[in-house]
Chains A and B, each alone.
Chain A
């Protein structure tokens, strides 16, 4: 709770002071108040989450659709010839706010930005170790539905969705 109260972006969302370009019940997209480049857009859930792991699957899916639409709009409105979509997750990954957000960065030729990196080389053994470790953790990834049931049941608002073939409704239908 205290985290929510100290969150700059929760304040902006509640006070509606942000330069909002899209808003619905669960999420909001706005121009970044301190942009990294021309037309820097941030897409956030309205509820306070700090890192991606806390965001429920269904909300992540919802956000991603908004991100996709806005990135299409950016191509036309800012005459961008490319976009970067970036989620910084954790202070050590460059996250500067404690509200989870997806960054959309419009790009042009020779805009002076650079997201290149120097790759490292690892030997076969190291790579195999990493592979095994990761694979173990990834074995349960396919189970999106199971995890989704609880938040959907708990959150009555979601049941108001119009009948439409989408991911959320499919899950709703499965609930006995």
Chain B
């Protein structure tokens, strides 16, 4: 066992290595612990849960050790969900399931028990009479929703804004204007820092702003 003192002196890489060593699912991925493997490729591994909720309950694991979803790169996330879709399909065909739940728990408060990221794929039957995943509905006022929406939207915009090259489905109409913005931005970035500063100062000067406004008055 590692003492707390040793743990405090460890580098993040060492701690990660230690987590891997103690992670049962990493052992399953490497094959040191036996499991019933359903599907495997270079990124993910699907196994049968040894404590299933229903027959055919599968766990989809990442081969790399990630604890929660926000740590996982986008391309692997995309791959996980595409495989999850196919596994769900396989449940319906192979086990004659009447529905499936795809469930992810991130963090201990959400019910995550192992420190390895996983997706549960659970075949469901009408006869199993489970109500765990039934989402009861509450009524909430429009205002309350709107109050939640604004900070969230801002944050989401931030997140998507940082990664400008996200694979969005870009509208053709926007392409020209997007190009313009990009060119402008490039120009700005290529300018020396001093000049940029100068420009900012100018804009702050109220006199300049008023003269700017006069100059740019719309022509009749």
| Chain A residues with CB below 8 A from B167, complex form | 62, 65, 161, 164, 166-169
A110 to B108, CA, bound (A): 11
A36 and B131 CA atoms in complex are apart in Å by 14
Tell me if B139 is interfacial: C-beta within 8 Å of chain A.
Answer: yes
B53 A120 Cβ-Cβ under 8 A: yes
A86 CA to B101 CA, complexed, in Å: 7
Contacting pair B165 A164 (CB below 8 A): yes
Q: Are B140 and A34 in contact (CB under 8 A)?
A: yes
B contact residues around A39 at 8 Å (CB) = 148, 152
Interchain CB contact under 8 A, A81 and B107: yes
> What 0/1 pattern do residues 103 to 121 of B give for CB contact below 8 A with A?
1111111111000000000
Select from chain A the residue with minimum beta-carbon distance to B47: A131
**Residue A36 contacts which of B53, B110, B136, B172 (CB distance < 8 angstroms)?**
B136
**Cβ B106 vs Cβ A86 within 8 A:** no
Q: Would you give the shortest CB distance from B81 to chain A, in whole angstroms?
A: 4
Q: What interface size band does chain A fall in? A: 35 or more
Cβ contact within 8 Å between A93 and B93? no
Within 8 A of B (CB), among A45-64: 52-53, 55, 57, 60-64
CA distance A104 to B104 in the complex (A): 10
Whether a CB of chain A sits under 8 angstroms from the CB of B184 is no
CB-nearest residue of chain A to B155: A73
A34-B82 CB under 8 A given contacts A84-B104, A89-B99: no
Question: Any chain A CB within 8 A of the CB of B28?
Answer: no
In the complex, whether A68 has a CB less than 8 A from a CB of chain B is yes
Would you call A82 an interface residue if the criterion is a C-beta within 8 Å of the partner chain's C-beta atoms? Answer: yes
* Contact across chains for A33 and B101 when beta carbons are under 8 A apart: no
B145 to chain A, nearest CB (A): 5
Asked if B72 lies at the interface with its beta carbon under 8 angstroms from chain A, I say yes
Asked if B82 and A82 sit within 8 Å, CB to CB, the answer is no
**Min CB gap B166→A, angstroms:** 7
Q: Contact between B85 and A161 (Cβ–Cβ < 8 Å)?
A: no
| A141-B83 CB under 8 A given contacts A92-B124, A119-B52 | yes
Determine whether the beta carbon of B169 is less than 8 Å from that of A84.
Answer: no
Closest to B151 in A: A77
Q: Cα distance A6–B157 when bound, in Å?
A: 31
Nearest A residue to B101 via CB reads: A93
CB distance from B60 to the nearest CB of A (A): 11
Name the residue in A72, A94, A134 with the highest tally of chain B Cβ atoms < 10 Å from its Cβ.
A134
Give A129's nearest chain B residue, CB to CB. Answer: B55
Which residues in A have their C-beta under 8 angstroms from that of B3?
Answer: none
Contact B136 A117 (CB under 8 A): no
Starting from the known contacts A77-B152, A127-B48, 10 additional A-B residue pairs (CB-CB under 8 Å) come to: A19-B145, A52-B88, A53-B92, A64-B80, A87-B100, A105-B110, A115-B133, A120-B52, A122-B55, A167-B167
Nearest 6 A-B pairs (CB), nearest first? A90-B99, A82-B107, A93-B99, A82-B110, A61-B78, A119-B51
Residues of B within 8 A of A (CB): 36, 38-39, 41, 46, 48-49, 51-56, 58, 69-70, 72, 74-75, 77-83, 85-95, 98-112, 122, 124-126, 130-140, 145-146, 148-149, 151-153, 155-160, 165-172, 175
CB within 8 Å of B: which residues of A?
19-22, 24-26, 29, 31, 33-36, 38-41, 52-53, 55, 57, 60-65, 67-78, 80-96, 103, 105, 107-111, 114-122, 126-128, 130-131, 133-138, 141-142, 144, 157-158, 160-162, 164, 166-169
18 interchain pairs (CB within 8 A)? Answer: A21-B153, A36-B137, A57-B82, A64-B80, A65-B74, A72-B159, A81-B107, A82-B105, A85-B102, A86-B102, A89-B101, A90-B100, A94-B124, A115-B105, A120-B52, A130-B55, A137-B94, A144-B82
